[in-house]
Amino acid sequence: MLAGEEFGRLFEAFERTAFRLETLAVYDVEEEADEFARFLAGEPMGPEWDDNPWVRSMTDRGKRVARVHVLASPLTDYLRYELSAYPGNIAAGESIGIIDLADGPVLGLPDHDFWLFDDRDVYRMHYTDAGEFVGAELVPPHRLPEYRAYRDTAQAHAVPFAEYWEHHR
């Protein structure tokens, strides 16, 4: 499994597209702890929230980044935090959709996160029960059609983030 800098290099190495399916209600990201606390306290979040530099580092090179977040209302504090940052990701060029399972189930989706790079490499994300990232496992090539179908299903059922946020903020 890949983790840390080794996993991070995947975002420099992909050539055209990166798609993420997110499924957790809470992600325990050590690097976000201070920012999350500031968010909960109602403090300003800083300029990177207006235009996410990490996303921009990819989209400025002509790469496309997209995600669909599968969640269930009501939102956890963490999801409120994460979704509040999405407008800055969108400003930087990421396409984001939301599937709210409170509106009804969507069949044909996995119960785990993954990244699909360039429509050819899939990494299944592994987390602890508390949402701490453990590592990313390269999925065998024969399962690629399955993950492409997950992506297509997610994108077909997702509501554009702006539309979702307007009604659920």
**pLDDT profile of the chain (169 residues), mean per 10:** 95 97 95 94 90 96 98 94 96 98 95 98 97 97 98 98 91
Q: Looking at residue 58, what is its pLDDT?
A: 97
How many other C-beta atoms lie within 10 A of the C-beta of residue 54? 13
Q: Looking at residue 168, what is its pLDDT?
A: 84
Note the CATH architecture for domain 4-168: 2-Layer Sandwich (3.30)
Q: Looking at residue 149, what is its pLDDT?
A: 98
How many other C-beta atoms lie within 10 A of the C-beta of residue 104? 8
Q: Looking at residue 4, what is its pLDDT?
A: 92
> Over the Cα atoms of the chain, what is R_g?
16
How would you class 51 by CB atoms within 10 Å of its CB: exposed for 0-12, middle for 13-18, buried for 19 or more? middle
Q: Looking at residue 59, what is its pLDDT?
A: 98
Q: Looking at residue 99, what is its pLDDT?
A: 98
Alpha carbon 57 to its chain's center: 16
